[in-house]
Amino acid sequence: MACGPGFHSAKPERQTGPATRLSRVDFQGATATLCAIVRRQPPASAKPTDPMNAMAHSLRRLVQGASIVCLACALLVLGVASTARAAFESAAEYVILMDHGSGAVLYQKQADVLVPPASMSKLMTVAVVCRALREGKITLDTTYKVSVHAWRTGGAPSGTSAMFAVLGSEVKVSDLLRGMIIQSGNDAAIIIAEGMAGSEDEFAKLMVAEARRIGLKKATFGNPSGLPNPNQLMTVKELAQLARFLIRAYPEYYPIFGERQFDFNNGKKTFKFYNRNPLLALEIGVDGLKTGHIKDSGYGLVASARQLDRRLIVVVAGTKSENERTAEAKKLLEWGFRSFKEVDIFDPGEIVGSARVWGGSSYLVPLVGENGVKIMVPRTAGQSRFKATIVYDGPLKPPIKKGDQVAILRVVSSDSGVNEVALYAGEDIDQAGIMARGLDSLVLMAFGWLL
């Protein structure tokens, strides 16, 4: 493919797997025209002068190149910071910092490695309970009985974190939720599991199913509490994704994570439990989620913080002490709020690119963001390389309805930042006739990766 001055093309590479990237063509250069095919896009009427506007303009051209050139990826050097992440290091073994609004990964370290999540896996137990509440299968006033197993394994005799529910008593779901979230009660998690599913094993199956439903592909569970179990494994990225899901899907229950105190009368005594999340008291905007600790995985924490109109999610795991866990999470959040800014690169309804359709009334379906396309970028100046890729399982097959999510825009920086934005069909695509579908099949057989 012939490219304009300052660019070079690489031989397209056929990609395989369930989510096929139809082809890959790389381009390098500054902010000039990507290549002849990109020049079909109308040039900007005025050259941006503000650094952030200039960055948004350059990223926009980059994405247009990615979407037009064989639905592939483009590489571009932009005037944005590579030093932001290079200057930051975390002592935690497993780390992720995620922007809540966009899902962008601002920092990561071994984020895709499976580790025992300890009590942080109670977030998945909460997700299963919240879904049952939403669907009306249970209510906050539903009560469950404290079994010998729940009492002995997770209650007072266990020597682990417990809400001290009395053996044989009935406890409301509202109290069990707070017992799990605020006190990290293992007995609370087991009582709920047995009440909803009959046993911990059966409830663990519900947890795995819910994980897959919300897009967590690696996580496995052996119990609802996070007590040591060889099947209890998650990545810190999945924990961040789960936290983001809970905040977005269940705003009516999320405030429980920020409650500082839970008073529980077990029928014999009233206990005052104080929230175990140490970041709640630091006045940095943290309003939830969960801590965890077992010997096999060290100290971990999932937290979310809001400052003005931005919310970040941090997960650290594998730290050596409670103090290190708190310090690393605090440092990450403060750095994230200070170092990054959201940039608009496409307006709502504006076409980002196109995806190939097989056997449709049109060969291509236009792609748009749900509310435009926004990504997170470093605030400071410097040199960073960005790669934009439109990823979808192609070719797409009709019928396609306007508003169907059919692709993802992935923008990756050279310093490990990852922005992923869902892309949706911008118009309806109906199925073509038999002759047109046959011709389309021949074209794809002959030139598939080029289309």
Q: Is 184 a catalytic residue?
A: yes
Cβ–Cβ under 8 Å, residues 223 and 229: yes
The whole-angstrom distance between residue 207's C-alpha and the CA centroid of its chain comes to 18
Task: Spot the catalytic one: 122, 237, 330, 387.
Answer: 122
Beta bridge partners of 97: 107, 314
Q: Is 119 a catalytic residue?
A: yes
Task: Spot the catalytic one: 67, 90, 147, 184.
Answer: 184
Residues 6+ apart with CB under 8 A from 301: 120, 277, 279, 290, 291, 292, 314, 315, 316, 317, 325, 326, 329
Residues 6+ apart with CB under 8 A from 337: 285, 305, 307, 310, 312
Task: Spot the catalytic one: 119, 121, 384, 413.
Answer: 119
Residue count of the chain, please give it: 451
Measure the CA–CA gap between 221 and 178, rounded to whole angstroms: 21
Q: Is 122 a catalytic residue?
A: yes
Q: What angle do CA 280, 281, 283 make, to 5 degrees?
A: 90
CA dihedral sign of residues 156, 121, 274, 254: negative
- Reduced to 3 states (helix: H, G, I; strand: E, B; else coil), residue 269 is coil
Cβ–Cβ under 8 Å, residues 316 and 332: yes
What DSSP assignment string belongs to 270-283?
EEEEE---GGGGSS
Cβ–Cβ under 8 Å, residues 244 and 313: yes
The amino acid at residue 201 is: D
How far lies 308's CA from each of 6, 99, 251, 301, 340, in Å?
A: 42, 14, 18, 23, 14
Structure tokens at 330: 């605090």
Tell me phi and psi for residue 392, to 5 degrees.
-160, 165
Active site residues: 119, 122, 184
